[in-house]
Structure 1
Amino acid sequence: MQTIWAKQALVADQWANAVTVEIAEDGRIHQVKADTAPTGLQVGALLPSPANLHSHAFQRAMAGLSERQGPSGRDTFWTWRALMFRFLDALTPDDVEAIAAFVQMEMLEAGYASVGEFHYLHHQPDGTSYADIAEMSARIAAATETSGIGLTMLPVLYMQGGCDASALTQGQIRFGNDIDQFEKLYARSAQILGTLPSDTQLGVAPHSLRAVSRESLAAVLELAPSQPVHMHLAEQIAEVDEVVHAYGQRPVDWLLSHHDVTERWCLIHCTQMTGHETVSLARTGAVAGLCPITESSLGDGIFDGRNYLDQNGRFGIGSDSNIRISLSEELRTLEYSQRLRDYGRAILAAETKSTGRNLYSNAVAGGAQALGRASGGIIADNWADLVALDLESVDLEGRTGDAILDSFIFAGDDTLISDVWSAGRHMVHDGKHIRRNAIEHMYRKTMRGLRERI
C-alpha cells in the first residue's frame, strides 16, 4: 500500500485540504480522506492525471524538421504530410520502440498518466507484413513496459488513398490493410496487450472517412462492439470538401446520420465544423479529441469550444504529432485560440469554475472516457492516475484552489510537476522519469542511426 499526503487535492472534482490517498497493490485508489495528519509521501497539490488521448508516437522523431516552405513557396498540412510519409519509410521496429518509449517518458513528465496510441504504422516499407502481423504493435507495447505509461492501443484501419477509393501511395502502404488482414492484426494485438498490466485497453481506429470505405467502417464497428472507437474527422477544409463531393454531406453530418455515435466514440480534431455540427456532436456524448499544439502547427483551424461546452460537449486533449509534449501548453493554446477568435478573455471558464479549472476538469473526464479507462478523478476504486504540483515553486507561491490550476496553465509550465503515478506506478519523482537516462540514451542512439539513413 502506497500512501500520499497532499496539502491540497482535487478530490471528486472538489478542492480539499490535508488529503491522504492510499493506493492498493493493484494500482487502484483504496481510500481518500481529507483533513488528515501528514503521512507517507508528502506533496503540494495532488490532481487527477489526464489522459493523452491521441498520439502518433513515431512522429516525435520528426519534431523541428518540417519548418520550411513547400515547393510552391507556401507550406500546408498536405506538404507536411508528404514529408511525414518520406520520413516514416526509414523507420525500423527497433526505431519505433525507442521513439515511443522516449515520447511516453516525456508525456509522463508532462503530467499525462496514460496515452491513446492511434497506431497506423503496421508494415514494412514495401507494404508487406512482418512475420508477426502486429510486430509494430508489439513494439509500442514493449515501449510502455519501459516507460510505465498506461496504454489504450488503437490499431488503425487504413485502406485507401481518398474517398475515391484510390490506391495507397508509397508513403501510405505501410499503413494499409484490407478488412481480413485488419481482423488478424486486431486479434494479435489483443494477445500482445494481454501480457501488459491490467489497466491496458484495446480500442479500434478507422482512420478517417477518406481512408476507409462505408462498408469497412461498418465492419470495424462490428469487430469491436463495445470498445473505444477513435477517428479523425473534419480536420482540414480540403478534407471536408472531398467528403462533401463523395458522400453528399459534411463529415460530421454524414457520420452522425449513418452511425450510432455514442459515449465510446472519440472524434479527433473537428476543427472544421458548422454551428449545427458542433451542437449535434456535443449532444451525442462522444468526446472531441482536441490537439491544440498540433492543430496550430498544421494550420487546421480553431475548434468552437464555447458553443460546444454550452451544449455540455465533452472533450479531451492529445499531443497528436508530438512536435511538443506539454500538458499545460495544450490547455493554454486551446483557451488562447478561443480568445484570439472571439476577442475576449476566460472564454472557456464556467460560472463556478475558473478557466484553468474548467479546462483541466474537462480534459481529465473526457480523456478517461475516450480511453475507456477507469480514472478521471481521485475517487476510491479508480486507477491511481495522479499528478502532483510543487506548491513551493515561485509560480504557485500562496496559491489555493482554482488559482493553482490557473497559475499552472497560464503562468507556469510542466516544470511545476513533481510526481506522476500511472495506475499506481510512481514513474516521475522530483520532476524526472525514473528511467530517463536509459530511455534517453536509446533515443539518442536511434536518432543518430536515422540521420545516417535519411
Structure 2
Amino acid sequence: MRKLIFDAALLPSGWASDVAVDCSGGMIAKVAANASSDGRERIRGVALPGLPNLHSHTFQRGMAGRAEIRGTEEDSFWTWRQAMYRFLGRLTPDDVEAVAAFAMMEMLEGGFTALAEFHYLHHDADGRPYANPAEMAGRIAAAAAETGLGLTLLPVLYAHGGFGGTAPNEGQRRFVNSLDGYFRLVEASRAALAGLDDATLGVAPHSLRAVTPDELGALLGAMPTGPVHMHIAEQVKEVADCLAWSGQRPVEWLLDHADVDDRWCLVHATHLTGAEIRRMAPAGAVAGLCPITEANLGDGLFEGHAYRAAGGRFGIGSDSNVQIDAPGELKLLEYGQRLNHGARNVLADPGGGSTGRALYEAALAGGAAALGRRIGALDAGYRADVVVLDTSQPDLCLGSGDSWLDRYIFVAGRSAIDSVIVAGRTVVTHGRHHKRDAIVRRTIAALARLAS
C-alpha cells in the first residue's frame, strides 16, 4: 500500500483539495478529499489523471525530422510514406526496442501514462517472419516494462498494398501477413505480454486499403471482444480510391459492412461528411485524433465541432512521434478548429466553461475506452496513473481549478509536468524519467548505427 496526498486533484466529481489516494497492486483503493496528511507521502502540486495515448508507431520516433526536405514533386503523406519505408529497411529488433523505450520515456515525461501501440513492423528486413512471430512485439513489451508505461498492444493485420486486394509493394514486406500468419502473431503477442502487469491485447486491421472485406470479417469473427483500431479516411486520395473501389467513402463503407460499436477506434477519420458524423458518433466509436502528426503530414482537419455536437467521443495519440506532447496535441486540436471556424473556444461545452477542462476530460474518457483499460480517473478501482503539475511555475502559481488546465494546455505545456506516477510507482521526477540517461545512451547508439 502506498498512501499519497496531493495539494489538489481533479476527481470525477470535480476539483478537490488535500486529496488522499491509497494505491495497492497498481490500482487506486481509496480516494478522499480534505484529508489529513498524517502518515501520508505529500506530493506537492496539482494531480491529474494521466492521459491515454491511443495511437502510436513507436519505431517512427527514430525518423523524426528526416522527412522535412522537399522533393522534386509536391510532398504529401504518400511521399512521406516512401521515406518511412526506406528508414525501416535497416531496423533490427534491438533498434526497435531502443527507439520504443525512448518514445515511451518521452510520452511519460510529456503527460501520457498509457499507450495503444499500433504495431505493424513484424518481419526481418527481407520480409521473413522471425522464429518467434512476436519478436518485434516482444521488444515493444520490453520497452514498456523498462519505462513503466501502461500498454495496450495492437498487432496489425496488413495483407495488401491497396483497395481490392492489390499486391503489396517491396516497402511493405516487413508488415505483410496472411490471416493464418496473423492469428499466430496474435497468440505469440499474447505470450509476449504475459510478463507485464495489467497489459491489454487488441487487434488492428490496418486500413480498408490493407485488408479485404473477407479478411476483415474473419478477423472480427475470431476476435469478438477487446479493442479494434483501424486507420480510416486520413487522406483525400484514400477517400477517392475507396470510392473508386466500392462506390462508398471509407467510413460509410465500414459502417455499412461491420458492427462498429464502442470497442472501435477509427484513427484519424479526417475526412468525414455530415452523414458519416451523424452515424459514427452514436455508434460509440472513438475518433483517434493525432493533430501534430496530421499537421506534419498535411492530412487536413477533423471536423471536431460537429462531431462533439453529435455526441461523438475522441481521444488523442502521438502517431508518428515527430513530437511527443500530450497537452500540445490538445492545444493543436483546438487551434485547428479555431482556424477552420474563425472562432475561439470551439470545443468547449456549450453555455460556457473551460476549454482546457472539456478537452482534457473528453480525451481521458475516449482514450480509456479506446485502450480497453480501467484508466483515466482518480477514483477507486482505476489504475493509479497520475500526472502532477508544478504549481510553483509562474504560469500556474496564481491559478486554481479549471484555470490550471487552461494554462497547462494553452500556455505552459509539458514544462509544467513535475512528476508522473504509473500504477502507483513514480517514474518521472522534476520532469525527468528515472531511467532517462541509460535510455538516451542506447537510443543514440542505435540511431548512429542506422545513420552510418
TM-score (norm 1): 0.98
Structure 1 residue aligned with 2:342: 343
Distance in 1, Cα, partners of 2:168 & 2:3? 52
Distance in 2, Cα, partners of 1:353 & 1:225? 39
Q: Is the 8 A contact 2:164 2:212 kept in 1?
A: no
- Partner secondary structure for residue 171 of structure 2: coil
**1:296-321 superposed Cα distances (whole Å, 9 cap, x missing partner):** 00011101111111111100000000
Q: 1:215 to 1:13 in 2, by over 3 A?
A: farther
How far is the alpha carbon of 1:368 from its aligned partner? 0.6
- Partner secondary structure for residue 10 of structure 2: strand
Large movers: runs of 4+ above 4 Å: none
Distance in 2, Cα, partners of 1:390 & 1:195? 34
- Structure 1 counterpart of 2:232, one-letter code: L
How far is the alpha carbon of 1:169 from its aligned partner? 1.0
How far is the alpha carbon of 1:5 from its aligned partner? 1.5
- Partner secondary structure for residue 154 of structure 1: strand
- Partner secondary structure for residue 395 of structure 2: helix
Which has the higher mean CA deviation after the structures are superposed, 281-290 or 35-44? 35-44
Listed as ranges, the matches of 1:10-49 within 5 Å are 10-24=10-24, 26-38=25-37, 39-49=40-50
Listed as ranges, the matches of 1:20-419 within 5 Å are 20-24=20-24, 26-38=25-37, 39-72=40-73, 74-197=74-197, 199-350=198-349, 351=351, 353-419=353-419
- Partner secondary structure for residue 413 of structure 1: helix
Distance in 2, Cα, partners of 1:165 & 1:71? 30
Distance in 2, Cα, partners of 1:347 & 1:188? 44
Structure 2 residue aligned with 1:5: 5
Q: 1:263 to 1:13 in 2, by over 3 A?
A: farther
How far is the alpha carbon of 1:415 from its aligned partner? 1.2
Distance in 2, Cα, partners of 1:200 & 1:141? 9
How far is the alpha carbon of 1:3 from its aligned partner? 2.1
Distance in 2, Cα, partners of 1:352 & 1:284? 27
- Partner secondary structure for residue 113 of structure 1: strand
Distance in 2, Cα, partners of 1:4 & 1:247? 56
> Alignment RMSD, CA only?
0.9
Distance in 2, Cα, partners of 1:352 & 1:22? 34
Distance in 2, Cα, partners of 1:152 & 1:41? 31
Distance in 1, Cα, partners of 2:358 & 2:78? 34
How far is the alpha carbon of 1:6 from its aligned partner? 1.6
- Structure 1 counterpart of 2:200, one-letter code: Q
Which has the higher mean CA deviation after the structures are superposed, 29-38 or 94-103? 29-38
Percent identity, aligned pairs only, is: 50
Q: 1:359 to 1:218 in 2, by over 3 A?
A: same
Distance in 2, Cα, partners of 1:422 & 1:200? 13
- Structure 2 counterpart of 1:122, one-letter code: H
Distance in 2, Cα, partners of 1:176 & 1:86? 16
How far is the alpha carbon of 1:246 from its aligned partner? 0.8
How far is the alpha carbon of 1:269 from its aligned partner? 0.2
How far is the alpha carbon of 1:429 from its aligned partner? 1.2
Distance in 2, Cα, partners of 1:313 & 1:4? 35
- Partner secondary structure for residue 55 of structure 2: strand
- Structure 1 counterpart of 2:49, one-letter code: P
